[in-house]
Structure 1
Amino acid sequence: MPAVSPLIFEALVGFCLVSALITYSLGIFVYAQKPGSTIHRLFLALMLAATYWALGEFFIWQAADYAGFLFWLKASSVWTIVFAISVHFIIAFTDAIPSKGMQRAFTLGTGLYLPAVLFALIGISTDWVYAITYEPGFGYVYLPVLTNPVCQIITCYYFLLMVWAFYAIYLSWQRAPSGRIRHQNRLVCVGVATVIVFGSLSGAILPLFGIHTPNLVFIGIVIFSVLIVYAIRKYGLFVLSPETAVAEILRTMPDGMVLTDLDGQIIAVNQSATEIFCATEAGLISRSVSSIIPDEAYGAIRQTFRGEVRVSDFELILPHEVPRVVSIAGSMVMDRDGKPAGIVLIIRDITERKASETALRIANEKISLLSQLTRHDISNLVTALSGYLAILEDDPHGGESGQYLSLSVGIVDKIIQHLRFSREYQEIGSKTPVWQGLGTMIEHAVQGLPHEGVDIQVRIIPVEMFADPLSEKVMYNLLENAIRHGETVKCVRITTEEQADGTLVLLFEDDGTGVSEDEKEKIFRFGYGKNTGFGLSFSREILSVTDIGISETGTEGEGARFEIRIPPRAWRYPE
């Protein structure tokens, strides 16, 4: 057997220890950057397994007798699992599983981890893979039993597997766009090739020439680790990688993502999709898309895909307990041969946007109506004012001049009230509805209204209401209306009741004189009432911006009872 100088031998043994230290440190460092990432977890597992293997190799050559040498050789038989994790890492890094059949095999572990565990057990329990011999002047060495069919199968299996893994990372490098990702893949490719070359030297080539050394694969692992560190520092590996740049974005994006095969069976979803469809990830995968999207809508989407490769701005209502309006965009997913392989749908919840659009449209319509009414009312008032002023001009000192002057002043006050109300009404719908704390709005209204002698009792559940920012004025108007017109009011109770259909009812009840049956709807008309006639009409219009209704349901003589009905989509418990 060709002799290996003691200096070289010690250096090679030292490489095992250096490799263990480097791989352990690098694995912990990478994992700490993003513990939730599959790539980072796989890399940590790979580095820890390589650390264990390197330490086993180091202790093999420190053993002073046959028993110690045999023990550490058996303990190092887990090298097969290191190779399995290496291939798994490359598959995940490059997304290189070529077919559904192979994907299922790797998912179940039957094509990768099961053989690795089996081969490791064979190495631990038999001498079919490695045999120990004693070389005079050198000591104990282990040799691959290349004449044993099992050893040949294991050698060929892992050689072919690593060649395929190298080919996958090479293709990923070649296909990557220019820039950081291409540089990352190139460095990983070179590192993998280095490990394969040095591993092949010790595992097959050098033993054929009778040259026995500590496993040279750890030299390759050290070089691989150096390249990984360089890729991290220079090109942002594991920061800007295929996984973090694509899968991580899809996982965290605010829009729902649903990936299906050509038959409409769901393959993958992200967190936002589970929230939109009110289901878990496990509850959605393997289901048909038609089970979560109405058949008619899904049929229309599929029909669009027959003529085009993408669809956008397809709006529909999901029939949930609380209906949601969504906008769907999507496209065909092509395989590497350019053939359709599936469909990706991007679902955006636009419920609040549609509510805002509806509110704006209603507000514009009502502002237009108000302008017509205001012009008509002010025109009539100006005509009356002109008449009184004409009388005063003809007889400024007449006996009734004071009365006409008083009437003129009253008309001017009414005109000012119309203009003030128009200004406030114009603000309805001009701002986007927002979530507001119901308790906070009521508290501000109570604090801003003098109510000496009137007990205001508030017993409501802590919720938020999606409404026009002017909604606080509604609370104020209802309280003021009770105190001003209730005559005998001593107590006002504000409570909430949740209905079976999800509607939240907000009640304002007093113990005053109440409202007569024939006035229950009239009090919400513009100009009707004992004061300005604008308060309740104004309140109804503010609430209607987000489809919140208000009505008077009390009994005359027992007190007024204003009932505000908030639909399910317009109220929620605070997050």
Structure 2
Amino acid sequence: MYEEWLIAIVPNLLVAAFSIEIGYLAWRDSSKPYRRYFAFMIWLISPLALVLLGEKVVDNIDIVIALCILEYVLELALLLLLLKFVTEYTETPGFANRKFMFGLFVLGAISPLLLATNSWHHLFYTKVSLTYHNGFYIFNPTYGTVVALWGIFAIGILAICQFILMASYLHAPKNDKRGFAIVSVALFFITASTIIYWFSSKDNPLLDILALGLFGGVLIVYYGVFWRNILDAPPFTIIQLLENVYDGTVLIDENGRVAYWNAAARKILVDDQGTMLPIGTWFRDQPEYELILTKDGKETFWSVKASVVTDVGKSPGTVLVLSDITKMREYENALTQVNKKLAILQSVNRHDLRNDIVALGGYLELLGQNGQKGDPRILQAKKVLARMAERIDQLKDQQGDVPIEKIWVEAQKAAWNALNQLDVSKLNINVQLEGLEVPSEQLLERIFYNLAENSVRHGKVLTRISLTYRRENDRCVITYEDDGKGIPTEKKELVFEKGYGDNTGMGLYLTREIARNTGMTIIENGTAGARFELTIPAGRWRDSGPAPVKK
């Protein structure tokens, strides 16, 4: 007899005790919503276990029915708290809001209400009785038709929770699957015991299947809380990651319906009246395209990337990622307008400068006709005018749509074109760039011109200019050298600063800027005389013959 009492009572008492302790552990740090729901849910298991125990030891049928009503009320609250805990714990957005939960409460409350008024209609129990067995009482009801409503309600919520947990487990990172697995196993244990309880004969009060199921579930959760800290480190799910992504993310199922959308997508696609924009018309054959959406009277531009989700050869849906490119389009339009204005201004200035050059050339011709034809100063002035005219023509060429980088030119030719624009007749010129080709003739020629012009202007004892190149791995290094007075060590970087120097202060500054804009670098590292090294990266140079290799 004593052993039978232990078998019948101890599981319920242990469930009650463990539930109180686990609920307290969860409540100690209740800053997170899922911990609060978990604590209340576990605490409700304690009185439920005691109620189930009371149903076995009370011999008054009216009190037993009252305990059954309390049992259903506790189970209703427990199911609702379980659903809120699972949705909060898995960071599952959306459906478990107040309106939905209130609807579930109303639906679930029908059963205890029918039980409380059963004596009027006998729809819940058609007949009840108590049977005494080994010191305990067995409640033997004959269920009515409406009891199935409670079974569908309870099993439905348990199945929804199990589905959410399993889906989160499948999508969670490997190290974060632990929490989902423990909660899912506990829930499965309780669900299985509930189903077995419903279909068992209930003829032995020592075998309380529902109490044993609760006891097993609580033990599993107890293990998870104490030994695996599942409440301290909730799993970080894919859904949680997507909810915090800046871009809108939408999952369209195989029937064209929205299966999931994150917070950013909801903000993009729903207007102030709560109407969703016609996403069904967005599908395209290409994986990436752009859309113009009008929301609240304002146009916005979006880049849409579509990826088909595949699962074992099937296509369960499509993922759309929406990125806001409105600002980028505004910047592009503003840049286009600025470029148009600059092009117009350049055309006007080029036209005016060409007219001024023609006029100045006419004056020089008149001076030559007045007996000063052989004056070297007039000849030098004509050369300057010719260079100016050439620069204007180059500006006209660069205004076209053809990218300069696509034009490959001989570095040797570019160097001589630059040198011939200066008075270098008294200098020893050594150009060894044969075979080397570099994109953008005008830019490279301009670099050579600026370097040579700097040498001629500042090299008072200048007698030699040298241009050579070598290959360093996949890069090319062009070396420009002269034997002028050189650049002091403390000024080797300053000479590239804008405004530095005793002339315009722009020559070497523009040289470095031109180099940067075409992916090149330039430094000065001379010891006797000036020495500039222009480094050209891979893909921006080529040679038609074997180039010198660095020794």
TM range (shorter): 0.3 to 0.5
Q: Give the structure with higher Rg (CA).
A: 2
TM-score (ref. length: structure 1): 0.46
